[in-house]
Chains A and B, each alone.
Chain A
Amino acid sequence: MKRLTLNPPQIIMFCFMLLLLAMAFFIDMDLAGILNDSLIKWAMNGVIVLSLIPMINVGAGRNFGIPIGLSAGLCGMIFALDRRLTSWIGFFSSILLGMLVAVVFGFLYAKLLNRLKLNEEIVGTFAGYSFIPIMNLFYTFVPVTNRQMLYPIGGQGLRPKVNLDQYFGQILDNFLQLRIGPVVIPLGLLLFFFGIAWLIWLFGKTRTGLVFSAIAENENFVRLSGINVNFYRTLGIILSTVIAAIGVVVYSQSYGILHLYDGPFMMSFPAVSAIVIGGASPKKATVANAMIGTFLYQTTYLLSIPVANALLIPEMAEIFRTIITSGIILYAFIFERKPKRA
């Protein structure tokens, strides 16, 4: 029965969504179109939100350092595009290369977080922030030969937005589309999303998954059981970084644009907010939390855009999104029990 209880953020989001739906109905909106978009947005952002799970479950807090994992994925795509790898080969080699880079980044990130235990959230935030200028330097000096990725004239390095149309833009979105009347279900994208979710769920059932949740619950106990806590924390943090790298490749193919430089800057807060809406606690997050949370968060945002436009204040959608994002995270910090100091 415990599983059925709703927490206040979920209730607020549901009410808000219903209100928006009513208004959408009132202004005669294309609901099928919204549904199509929301399915894509769901899977597009969903993988990034899923990436929070291993770190929460290993007791390393909500990963505010997502930009690190995202940068790894961006690197993967840069390498793939530089080789002019297109279509599926491009997509999967991006993921593979991104994962490799993410292992390295994740390892370093884990070193930092293991040193500053119990401060993961503030450290993650600033590690993520300060990682972006480092990556910017990399984008500026990386020896890329593909002219389409470089500043046309007068600039140095990669351009901030690289169009993916010729490579693997929307490749997953358009794969195995299922049309039912006006509704288009992006089956390929959803299957990929569910596949990753399933793997994470499966991982939670293994012995390592069990050790993870035990560490989150009681680090001392695990240490007394003869288990190297820092090793598993490192593993969890690397895993989160790797999934975030996959997530950004999925995100970029949907978006159709490779967004470098400040692209990943503010992406951690919406992701954290989504998983909190989904009902994750600071030490335990499930795949269902991530999926439900992302759907609610993204669909609400999607619904608010036409409503705001109808009210002639288009900025309102973005403002509401940010209010929800930071409000929910603040709620989580204020009303959740403080972790005990060891």
Chain B
Amino acid sequence: MIEVKGLSKKFDSGYVLKDIDLQIEDGEIYGIIGANGSGKSTFLNILNGKDTIVKTGGYEGDIFIDGEKVRILDHQHSVSHGISMVHQELALFPGMRAVDNIKINHENVKWELPVIPELSRLDEKKNLEDAKTALERIGTELDPVRNIDNLSLNQKQFVEIARELDHQNIRLLMLDEPTSSLNITETEKLLSCVQEIASRGISVIFVSHRLEEIEKICHRVSVFRDGRLISTYKKADFDLNRFAEDMVGQKIVKAARERRQLSEETILEYRCRDDDGNTLTIKKGEILGITGLAGQGQEQFLAGLFGLAKTNYTTSFKGEMLKDGDTHGLIGKGIYYISENRGVDSLLLDSSIWENMIFGTEGKHQDFLSLSRIPGLSFLKRDRIRSYTEQMIEKLNIVCADPQQPVRELSGGNQQKVCIGRALTFEPELLGIGEPTRGIDIYSKELILNWILKMNQEMNTTVVVVSGELEELMRICDRIAVMYQGKIHRIFNTGVSPEELSLALYGKAAS
């Protein structure tokens, strides 16, 4: 039996996991569900002794294995206690054989060399046998000498599980979204394999966004929300609607946006290349929200438009097809994008506020240049820019020392305000924003949401917001599109209930 008591994890910004108590019986499949940022991954990382935990001061609370208290100090430690993890992104070595991948770091050797055990001779025969046994245990007839590169995704996943099962003393197997990239038949196979593993007395933690899988194989399910364990259900009590309620919580939902008459004019149209009718049209002057669970393709949706990521969509703006990655053309047409990774894509962290505010906007604002006839070699009109920036700082309420201050020194909220300021300087017709309020204090959140509304109302800017914050989307959006498995699952108008929305996140409709 594995038991955790009072497990907590604190980062600089506060607790991301607080007082988790749970027990997992031998041979039990234990499901964990929760929205993004609910603490699921942190929980797995603690048990797995990941560097992200170890190097940030470790965890609080206790872990017991068979009643014995253990302290997980690093990854090796976790492995030695029989805890294994199958990663969402496969941790396999390409170009190597399945057997090498299964036996890596615990290879059988013919004789062990002292001092440098790395130079010991491999026992190829025994390795092959072990690999074969491990693969057979999970019910695959895979030939262990096959090269990983030639295997299907499903087979790769089996190799990874086989590697973890090959650890002699395995007690607990943790699976993080193991089925996210599998098709239905492959998923079936994997699920029965997990059940098979559990039937041998190994405990399994199963994290998935696909509720039907959880329903099908888990013996118990816990719901995490905001770093806390909200509820635990036995198999008999499984109820999708209650899962959804627990995941969303009883947050005070501020009044949803009034329904407006949307303009008939289409400003942007996404069309799937596969042409399975998966299109999204954005009307002029609306605020459209796009949401979904982590990894359902919603970020790529916007980034793809700007050529930052490869997507399966073609885009037309006012009836004109857009070229992939032609950011110059996009800006020229009046489309601007604030990425969800503000610091990486949308800000120059080490440069001053004024540089961030006006960079690249000289095309629109010739008054910033002293020699506007030769824009390339022109100097900047410092006083003009300074007064403009000061004006923006006041307008957006940016808390800073002066316009010279590097953006890195500002708080997350103020950084986002600088992004909004940039957007205002560009005066776009269509503005895309990824996660506008991620990592931002409550006060700034309000300000930023209000500015999005203000830009929409006063400048008639069409806004596309990608966000995981349902409540915020419901406040500001005219329509909300939910993405599931890389596709647009449903589009809701204002006034949708939070429960309905959160079920849609899992690809379900309310019953």
Whole-angstrom CA separation of A243 from B350 in the bound complex: 28
A225 to B337, CA, bound (A): 9
A82 on interface, CB distance cutoff 8 Å: no
**Chain A residue at smallest Cβ distance from B376:** A208
A 215-236 binary contact with B (CB < 8 Å = 1; else 0): 0011011111111100000000
Closest chain A CB from B6 CB (angstroms) = 37
Interface residue from A205, A208, A224 paired with B337 (Cβ < 8 Å)? A224
Assembled-state Cα–Cα distance A286/B299 (Å): 38
- Whether, in the assembled complex, A5 has its beta carbon less than 8 Å from a beta carbon of chain B, the answer is no
Question: In this assembly, does A214 line the interface, its C-beta being within 8 Å of a C-beta of chain B?
Answer: yes
B348, B350, B360 — which one has the most chain A CB atoms within 10 A of its CB? B360
Interface: A207 (CB within 8 A)? yes
The answer, yes or no, to whether B463 is at the interface (CB within 8 Å) is no
- B376 adjacent to A221 (CB under 8 Å): no
Q: Is the CB of B360 within 8 A of A226?
A: yes
From B21-29, B34-42, B227-235, B324-332, give the one contacting chain A.
Answer: B324-332
Assess the B348–A221 pair: CB atoms within 8 A: yes
- A207's closest neighbor in chain B, by CB? B378
Identify A221's interface contact among B331, B347, B378, CB under 8 A: B347
Question: Does A22 sit within 8 A of B, measured CB to CB?
Answer: no
Q: How large is the interface on B (under 10, 10 to 19, 20 to 34, 35 or more residues)?
A: 20 to 34
State in angstroms the CA–CA spacing of A159 and B348 once bound together: 51
Shortest CB distance B91–A (Å): 19
A224 touches which of B339, B355, B362, B378 (Cβ 8 Å): B339
Query: For the side of the interface on A, what is the size category?
Result: 10 to 19
User: Which residues of B have CB within 8 Å of A221?
Assistant: 345-348, 359
Q: Does B115 contact A (CB under 8 A)?
A: no
Instruction: Say yes or no: A207-B375 contact (C-beta < 8 A), given A217-B348, A221-B346.
Output: yes
Q: Please encode chain A, from 145 to 157, with 1 for each CB lying within 8 Å of some chain B CB and 0 for all others.
A: 0000000000000
Point out which of A207, A208, A210, A223 has the most chain B C-beta atoms below 10 A from its C-beta: A207
A226 touches B331 (CB 8 A): yes
Measured between C-beta atoms, what is the minimum distance from B355 to chain A in Å?
A: 7
Q: What distance in Å separates the Cβ of B300 from its nearest Cβ neighbour in chain A? A: 15
Report A-chain residues with C-beta under 8 Å of the C-beta of B11: none
Q: Is the CB of A207 within 8 A of B380?
A: yes
Are A226 and B330 interface neighbours, CB within 8 A?
Answer: yes
Q: Closest Cβ of chain B: how far from A330's Cβ, in Å?
A: 26
B327 touches A226 (CB 8 A): yes
A203 to B332, CA, bound (A): 26
* A227 cross-chain contacts in B, Cβ below 8 A: 327-328, 360
B314 to chain A, nearest CB (A): 20
Taken together as a complex, chains A and B put the C-alpha atoms of A137 and B134 apart, in Å, by 63
Say yes or no: A210 contacts B359, CB within 8 Å. yes
For the complex, give the distance between the alpha carbons of A226 and B380 in Å: 19
**Which A residues are in CB contact (< 8 Å) with B347?**
218, 221
B15 within 8 A of A: no
Q: Look across to chain A and name the residue whose beta carbon is closest to the beta carbon of B325.
A: A223
A residues in contact with B331, CB < 8 Å: 225-226
Contacts of A207 in B (CB 8 A): 362, 369, 375-380
Q: Is residue B351 within 8 Å, beta carbon to beta carbon, of the partner chain?
A: yes
Question: Which residues of B sit under 8 angstroms from A226, Cβ to Cβ?
Answer: 327-332, 360, 363
Q: CB distance A214 to B348 under 8 Å? A: yes
Q: Which residues of A contact B306 (CB under 8 A)?
A: 224
| Chain A CB within 8 A of B321 CB | no
Residues of the B chain whose Cβ atoms lie less than 8 Å from the Cβ of A203: 377
Q: With the chains together, A192 CA to B344 CA distance in Å? A: 41
Chain B residues touching A, majority SS = mixed
Interfacial residues of chain B within 343-392, with CB under 8 A of chain A in the complex: 344-351, 355, 359-360, 362-363, 369, 375-380
A217 engages B327 (CB within 8 Å)? no
Q: B356: nearest residue on chain A (CB-CB)?
A: A221
Question: B350 — nearest CB in chain A belongs to which residue?
Answer: A217
A291, B377: Cα distance in complex, Å: 24
The complex places the Cα of A227 from the Cα of B362 at a distance, in Å, of 11
The contact of A220 among B332, B344, B360, by CB within 8 Å, is B344
Cα distance A207–B368 when bound, in Å?
10
Please name all residues of chain B whose beta carbon is closer than 8 Å to the beta carbon of A220 when the two chains form the complex: 308, 344-345
CA distance A220 to B348 in the complex (A): 10
Partner of A225, one of B359, B369, B375, B378: B359
> Chain B nearest CB: distance from A72 CB in Å?
23
Within 8 A of B (CB), among A281-332: none
0/1 per residue, A181-197, Cβ < 8 Å to B?
Answer: 00000000000000000
Closest chain-A Cβ to B331's Cβ sits at a distance in Å of 3
Contact A208 to B377, CB < 8 A, known contacts A214-B351, A217-B348, A226-B327: yes
Instruction: Chain A residues near B348: list those with CB within 8 A.
Output: 214, 217-218, 221
Within the assembled complex, what's the spacing in Å between the Cα atoms of A224 and B348?
Answer: 12
Q: Which chain B residue has the least Cβ–Cβ distance from A227?
A: B360
A77-125 at interface with B (beta carbon < 8 Å): none
Report how far A183 CA is from B337 CA in the complex, Å. Answer: 61
Bound together, the chains give a CA A113 to CA B351 distance in angstroms of 26
Instruction: Give the contacting residue for A223; candidates B327, B351, B362; CB below 8 A.
Output: B327
Question: Which B residues touch A208, using CB under 8 A?
Answer: 376-377
Q: Which residue of B lies closest to A231 (CB)?
A: B328
A226–B329 Cα distance when bound, in Å, is: 7
Closest CB of chain B to A56's CB: distance in Å?
15
Give the docked Cα–Cα distance between A225 and B335 (Å): 10
Q: Which residues of A contact B308 (CB under 8 A)?
A: 220, 224
Q: Which residues of B contact A218 (CB under 8 A)?
A: 344-345, 347-349
Q: Which residues of A contact B377 (CB under 8 A)?
A: 203, 206-208
Are A228's CB and B328's CB within 8 A? yes
Cα A144 to Cα B141 with chains together (Å): 75
Please measure, in the bound complex, the distance between the C-alpha atom of A213 and the C-alpha atom of B359, giving whole angstroms. Answer: 11
User: Which A residue's beta carbon lies closest to that of B339?
Assistant: A224
- In the complex, chain A residues whose CB is within 8 Å of the CB of B355: 210, 214
**A226 CA to B363 CA in the complex, in Å?**
10
Specify which chain A residues have a CB less than 8 angstroms from the CB of B350 in the assembled complex.
217
Quick one: closest A residue to B327, CB to CB?
Answer: A226
Nearest-Cβ distance from residue A25 to partner chain B, whole angstroms: 44
Q: How far is the CA of A285 from the CA of B379 in the complex (A)?
A: 20
Give the CA-CA distance A220 to B359 in the complex, in Å. Answer: 13
CA–CA, A224 and B338, complex, Å: 9
- Would you give the shortest CB distance from B370 to chain A, in whole angstroms? 10
A223, B329: Cα distance in complex, Å: 11
Chain B residue at minimal CB-CB distance from A228: B328
A214–B407 Cα distance when bound, in Å, is: 13
Q: How far is the CB of B191 from chain A (nearest CB, A)?
A: 36
Q: For residues 156 through 194 of chain B, which have their beta carbon under 8 Å from a beta carbon of chain A?
A: none
A residues near B344, Cβ cutoff 8 Å? 218, 220
- A–B complex contacts, Cβ < 8 Å, 19 sampled: A206-B378, A206-B379, A207-B377, A207-B378, A210-B355, A210-B359, A214-B351, A214-B355, A217-B348, A217-B349, A221-B347, A222-B359, A223-B327, A224-B306, A226-B328, A226-B329, A226-B331, A226-B363, A228-B328
Q: Which 10 pairs of residues, A with B, have the shortest CB-CB distance?
A: A226-B331, A225-B360, A226-B328, A220-B345, A226-B327, A208-B376, A206-B377, A217-B348, A207-B378, A223-B327
